[in-house]
Chain A
Amino acid sequence: MEADSKPKKSGARLCCVCNQNRAALKRPKTLEQICRECFYAVFEEEIHQVILENQLFKPGDRIAIGASGGKDSTVLAYVLSELNRRHNYGLDLFLLSVDEGITGYRDDSLETVKRNELQYGLPLKIVSYKDLYGWTMDEIVKMIGLKNNCTFCGVFRRQALDRGAALLKVDKVATGHNADDIAETVLLNILRGDIARLSRCTSIITGEDGPIPRCKPFKYTYEKEIVMYAYFKKLDYFSTECIYSPNAYRGFAREFIKDLERIRPRAILDIIKSGEDFRISTTTKMPEQGTCERCGYISSQKWCKACVLLEGLNRGLPKLGIGRTQGLNSDGKKDRKRDSRTPSIESKQCGSLEF
C-alpha cells in the first residue's frame, strides 16, 4: 500500500464532475461521486434553481427563516444568505424562532440560533408559547401526559410562526423542510387517510390564502446532503431529538423512508412526485376553509384547532380536540362532517399512536 495521501484504498475515486479532486461523497439523488468543492457548487446551484423555477421570492421581499437551531434551518439560513448575496435576490432576511418551553431541548437550541444570528448577521426574533398561549410545552405535557404532545406542539407552532412573522412584518416564511420530511409526510397522510393534507403537503408554497405564505426551498434536497454540507462547512447546529418525540407516529414513516433510501435512494424524490401528482376524486368530501370564530385564524371548523386545544387546556379537559369524536358540546362548535363513507377528515391528530 502506498504511504502517501489517504484513502487510496478506495482506489482514489475521482470526482465525476471535475475529475481532479478525490470524491468525498456519493450523492443519494444522483448516485454521483463528487468532491467537496463540486458538491458545494451543485448543492447551492440546485437550490438556486428551485427558488427561480418556483418563483419563491421577489426582490424587496422580507423573509423570515423559521430557525430552530437544527441542521435544516441552520443550513437554510446559511445558503439563503449566500444565494441572496451571490445572485442579488434583493431580500431582507430574518431569523424567526419559536420557544415552546421544552427544558433541556429548546433552551439549548435557542442558544444555537443566537449564535447563528451573529455568525450570519441576520436579525433574530423569538416568540414563545408562554407569551402567546400562556402555556409552555412542559406544562402542557404535565397536564396531558405523553400522548398527543405533538398535536399540541405542531398546531401551536404553526400559529406561533405566523404571529412572529406578522410582528416582523415579513412577506413570507421559509422553512427548512427537506425532501425526506416531505416524503415522510406524504406517507403519513396516506397511512392516516388524511386526504385534505395529502393534497397540500407537497406544495412548495403553502398558505397563500392565509396570513403569511410559506415556502420550502429544500423540498428536493436530501437530508443526507444537508448534513454533509453542514459537516464539511463546519456549520454550527444543534442536534438532539425532542424529548417528547419518541411517541410520535411520524417515527414509523421516518424509519420506513430511511430503510427505503438504503435500497433505492431515488425513492424519496419519487414519493414526492407521486404526492404532487395525486388528484382527489371529485366525490371525496373535502373540508372548506373559513375562519375561526374565536381568533380569526384560518380554519375548516368553527373554531381553529389551536383554540380548541387551548380551551381544553384551560378547562382541564386534555382530550378536547383529540381523537375522532371531538366537540365543545352545545356552545361549542365542532360539528363532525361525517357521512357513512368517509370518516371525518378534520379530526386527524398528529403524533398520536391511536388509530
Chain B
Amino acid sequence: MHLTLEFGGGLELLCKSVKFHNVNVDLPKGADKLSMRDLLAWVRTNLIKERPEMFMKGESVRPGVLVLVNDCDWELSGQLDTTLEEKDVVVFISTLHGG
C-alpha cells in the first residue's frame, strides 16, 4: 500500500531529518486491511533510525505526538484501529518541545 508520511515537530530528526516519506507498506500476513497499529510497527522498524522511545511508547505513539490521517485527527477514526487506504497521507507531529 502506497502512503505518504510526514514527520513534524522535531520527529524528522529521528528519520535522518527527512520530513516526507513516500512508502510502500506490505499488509500484515493474512490481513486484508492495514491499520494504524500495523503502520506504527512498520515505521518503527523501517523509518526510525534513532531513539525510538521519542516516537513510540508501547504499541502507540508517545503521548504528546499528534497523528493526522488525511488531515483529520486520528482520535476521530479510532486511533490505532484506524484503517488506512491507498494513497493516504499520515502526519505525525510532536508537541514535546519548547514553545
- Known: A7-B69, A9-B83, A23-B76. Is A259-B93 also a contact (CB below 8 A)? no
* CB under 8 Å from chain A, chain B span 61-99: 62-64, 66, 68-73, 75-78, 82-83, 85, 88, 91, 93-99
Is A25 within 8 A of B72, CB to CB?
A: yes
Q: CA separation between A62 and B91, bound complex, in Å?
A: 39
A322 within 8 A of B: no
B13 within 8 A of A: yes
Is B66 within 8 A of A24, CB to CB?
A: no
Is A226 within 8 A of B99, CB to CB?
A: yes
A247 within 8 A of B: no
Is A22 within 8 A of B9, CB to CB?
A: no
Is A227 within 8 A of B70, CB to CB?
A: no
B52 within 8 A of A: no
Is B99 within 8 A of A71, CB to CB?
A: yes
A166 within 8 A of B: no
Query: In this complex, which of A10, A24, A73, A232 has the most chain B Cβ atoms within 10 angstroms of its Cβ?
Result: A10
Closest Cβ neighbor of B12 among chain A residues: A239
Q: CA separation between A73 and B78, bound complex, in Å?
A: 31
Q: Which residues of B contact A245 (CB under 8 A)?
A: 98
Is A24 within 8 A of B97, CB to CB?
A: no
Tell me the A residues contacting B by CB distance below 8 Å.
1, 6-7, 9-10, 13, 22-26, 33, 68, 70-73, 176-178, 181, 223-224, 226-228, 231-232, 239-242, 245, 254-255, 258-259, 261-262
20 A-B contacts (beta carbon < 8 Å): A6-B70, A6-B85, A9-B83, A9-B85, A10-B76, A13-B76, A24-B72, A24-B73, A26-B75, A71-B9, A71-B97, A71-B99, A72-B99, A181-B99, A231-B66, A240-B97, A241-B96, A241-B98, A254-B64, A255-B63
